[in-house]
Amino acid sequence: MKGIKDRGGRASDSLNQRFDAPLTRRIALWLPASLFLAVFFFYPLGHILTLSLDFSAITAGALGRSLSVLGFTLFQACLSTVLTLALGLPAAFLFARYRFAAKALLRTLTAIPFMLPTVVVAAGFNAWLGSRGWVNIALMRLFNLDSPPLVFGGTLGAILLAHVFYNTTIVVRVVGNALAHLDPRLEQAARTLGADPRRAFWRLTLPLLRPSLLASILLVFLFDFTSFGVILLLGGARFATLEVEIYLQAVQFFDLPLAAWLSLIQLLCTLAFSVVYSRAVTRTPGPSAPREATANLRRPQTLPQRLFVAGMAIFLFLFFIFPMLSLPVRSVARLEADRGERGQVRYGLTADYYAELFVNRSETLFYVPPLRALGNSLGYASLTVILSLGLGFPVAAALARPGPLERLLDPFLMLPLGASAVTLGLGFIVSFGRLLVSPWLVPLAHTLIALPFVIRSLQPALAAIPERLRQVAASLGAPPLRAWLVVDWPIIRRATLAAAVFAFTVSLGEFGATVLIARPEYPTLTTAIYRFLSRPGGLNYGQAMAMATILMLVTGAGILAIEKLRLPGSGEF
């Protein structure tokens, strides 16, 4: 072989070529999102922090308290993240590698919790695992116990379980998407070289998944780190994360200096995680050639594969369906009447709660028919999708071929996820005043939260586009936009849809409600549910469950439609 002149050409030149776009173009890519974040995030947040931060007001006791709160926040976030990965990774494998019956349905099922309001999820979990939940009732009957053996509400376990329930979909989407595009022959090569499946996973698949794994860990961790509703509703009064403590200090005690101090801690932690993350990601090797997602899909063949697929699918199904099932069940089941009408109980099925949704019984000004609430929800969600994709795409494109500018700015992108919603909400008040009256602010606030997701979902896909493919298209006479359509779009279509689903569900989950002034005339499904739940009475509870069921069905159908959506030219987007 000596003296052979290798004329094979550098096959991967263009793949790894650092794309040295001129700085002006990079700045142009960053401009829209930076402007957006500057106006709607950094300015209000900076405003409220400078207004209220007063280090002299932090007492030793407050310092000790903030440290212990920080300790618990980190502790539960780490534990929750580990557990979420423990369920999410096998689930991501299941979805990325195998074809099986009702797969799209199961995947939709795992995605629904992400957008359910905490109150509804808490109700679902309690109906399932609470002291009068099905599990406890069954155990009590089975073993003739007097008291429920399983304690759920107010435990750390409840917090962890709810976090896993909420965030597994992040791992499934982010890691699953990367996994689906991984070249299957790499793993096969490892197998032929003597690696058993376990070692092939640890030595090969895991390192190759590192960027997406880190991205999903960061997202899950940040969600757990800033957890609020789950801690309040399921953890009960004994547990406080930073976000809960900020809420207590800012809203209940009106101790703005302490709230600002805690917000600063939370923000700095978030920044630190983001810096660690972007360091770790840039050290990861360049992507190998992306695969059509279907290249990795097969029906389970061997017995262990069949056992894995069947076991995992059934486990996921049960894990997700039980807490969710209680909502539709309760929305058509009448259980209350016996209390007032002794002797003539009419248990049974009813459509009353749904019918009642269409009646403005108390003639209230803020009554909104369910379809309007649904329309508002979908409207806000669609705007959030458009806005976050529009802002996120250019940034993801810049990040896909990172230069010094990107390395500098990258960590700041995640900050909106780590900022305290309560503090930001107060920042909006001092910064925007009457501008807040506009309902347009709702999709803007949702975009703040959705943007990091969108960017993190798009970035790996955009980075995986071989530059030479676009060059080929250009050389074949395709103008830039056309080249983008025929080359980039098919490759990033799946990631774009994943990003859109994220933005959509983030918006439906209504994170913005706490941040902003709400306009009661424009309620979403979520605020409508809260409204029903804030009043006593079986009918209100039933209506809340009916509304939650509608939310679940509609959004589930939406996700399913996107999952099923197949555009010409690719097997599975």
Partner 1 sequence: MKHPSLVLFFVFFLSLLPACGSQGPQTLTILTHDSFAVSEELITVFEQENNVAVVFLAGGDTGAALNKAILSREAPLADIFYGVDNTFLSRALEADIFVPYESPLLAAIPDDFELDPQHRALPVDYGDVCINYDRAWFAERRLAIPAALVDLLQPEYTGLLVVENPATSSPGLAFLLATVAEFGPDGYLDFWAGLRDNGLVVVDDWETAYFTNFSASSGRGPQPLAVSYASSPAAEVIYADPPVDEAPTASLLAPGTCFRQIEFVGILRGTPNRDLAERFIDYMLDTRYQEDIPLQMFVYPVNQNAQLPPEFVQWAAVASEPAVLGPDLIAVHRDEWIAAWTEVVLR
Partner 2 sequence: MLELTDIHKSYLGRPLLDGISFSVAAGETVCLLGASGSGKSTLLRIIAGLEISEGGSVLWDGHDLARVPVHLRDFGLVFQDYALFPHLNVAENVAFGLKMRGLPQAKINSIVTESLARVNLGAFASRRVTDLSGGEQQRVALARALAPGPRLLMFDEPLGALDRSLREHLLEELRQTLQASDVPAIYVTHDQEEAFAIADRVLLLHDGCIVRAGMPAEVWREPGSVWAARFLGLGNILEGKSLGNGRVDTKAGVLETACSHDHITGEPLALLIRPGAAASGKGANQLRGRVTDVVFRSPVYRVTLADGLAFDLPTAPQMGTEISLRLPASAVECLA
Site for partner 2 in 164-183 (CB under 8 A): 183
* Least distance from partner 2 to the Cβ atom of residue 328, Å: 39
* Least distance from partner 1 to the Cβ atom of residue 430, Å: 5
Residue 147 or 192 with smaller CB distance to partner 2: 192
Residue 25 or 185 with smaller CB distance to partner 2: 185
CB under 5 to 8 A by kind: which of partner 1, partner 2, none does 369 bind? Answer: none
Kind and range of the H or E run holding 353: helix 352-357
* Cα 143 to Cα 481: distance, rounded to the nearest angstrom: 68
* Least distance from partner 2 to the Cβ atom of residue 298, Å: 9
CB under 5 to 8 A by kind: which of partner 2, partner 1, none does 350 bind? Answer: partner 1
Write the DSSP symbol of residue 349. Answer: E
* Least distance from partner 2 to the Cβ atom of residue 203, Å: 7
Q: Which of 188, 166, 180 is nearest to 209 (CA)?
A: 180
> Does residue 189 touch partner 2 according to CB under 8 A?
yes
Question: In this structure, what are the phi and psi dihedrals at residue 98, rounded to the nearest 5 degrees?
Answer: -125, 150
Radius of gyration over alpha carbons of the chain, in Å? 25
Q: Are 542 and 556 in contact (CB under 8 A)?
A: no
CB under 5 to 8 A by kind: which of partner 2, partner 1, none does 250 bind? Answer: partner 1
Q: Contacts with partner 2 in 207-226 (CB under 8 A)?
A: 207-208, 210
- Contact mark string toward partner 2, 124..163, x via CB under 8 A: ----------------------------------------
The binder of partner 2 chosen from 23, 38, 67, 193 (CB under 8 A): 193
DSSP string over 62-76: HHHHHHHHHHHHHHH
Orientation angle between helical segments 43-52 and 256-282, nearest 10 degrees: 140
Residue 284 or 570 with smaller CB distance to partner 2: 284
The torsion defined by the Cα of 409, 395, 505 and 434, in degrees rounded to 10, comes to 70
Residue 183 or 356 with smaller CB distance to partner 2: 183
Amino acid at position 414, single letter = M
Residue 99 or 132 with smaller CB distance to partner 1: 132
CB under 5 to 8 A by kind: which of partner 2, partner 1, none does 538 bind? Answer: partner 1
Residue 88 or 466 with smaller CB distance to partner 2: 466
CB under 5 to 8 A by kind: which of partner 1, partner 2, none does 514 bind? Answer: partner 1
What token pair was written down for 530? 């809260």
CB under 5 to 8 A by kind: which of partner 2, partner 1, none does 365 bind? Answer: partner 1
Kind and range of the H or E run holding 407: helix 404-413
What token pair was written down for 28? 């142009």
* Cα 505 to Cα 491: distance, rounded to the nearest angstrom: 23
Kind and range of the H or E run holding 397: helix 370-400
CB under 5 to 8 A by kind: which of partner 1, partner 2, none does 183 bind? Answer: partner 2
CB under 5 to 8 A by kind: which of partner 1, partner 2, none does 204 bind? Answer: partner 2
* The length of the chain, given as a count of residues: 573
Q: Which residues pair with 334 in a beta bridge?
A: 348
Label residues 392-422 b or e (16+ Cβ within 10 Å = b). Answer: bbbbbbbbbbbeeebeebbbbbbbbbbbbbb
Amino acid at position 65, single letter = R
* Least distance from partner 1 to the Cβ atom of residue 350, Å: 7
* Least distance from partner 1 to the Cβ atom of residue 66, Å: 14
- Reduced to 3 states (helix: H, G, I; strand: E, B; else coil), residue 348 is strand
- Contact mark string toward partner 2, 278..307, x via CB under 8 A: ------xxxxxx-----------xx-----
CB under 5 to 8 A by kind: which of partner 2, partner 1, none does 276 bind? Answer: none
- Contact mark string toward partner 2, 7..46, x via CB under 8 A: xxxxxx--xx------------------------------
* Cα 139 to Cα 154: distance, rounded to the nearest angstrom: 20
CB under 5 to 8 A by kind: which of partner 2, partner 1, none does 285 bind? Answer: partner 2
* Cα 219 to Cα 521: distance, rounded to the nearest angstrom: 33
Write out the residues near partner 2 by the rule CB under 8 A: 1-2, 4, 6-12, 15-16, 183, 185-186, 188-197, 199-200, 203-204, 207-208, 210, 284-289, 301-302
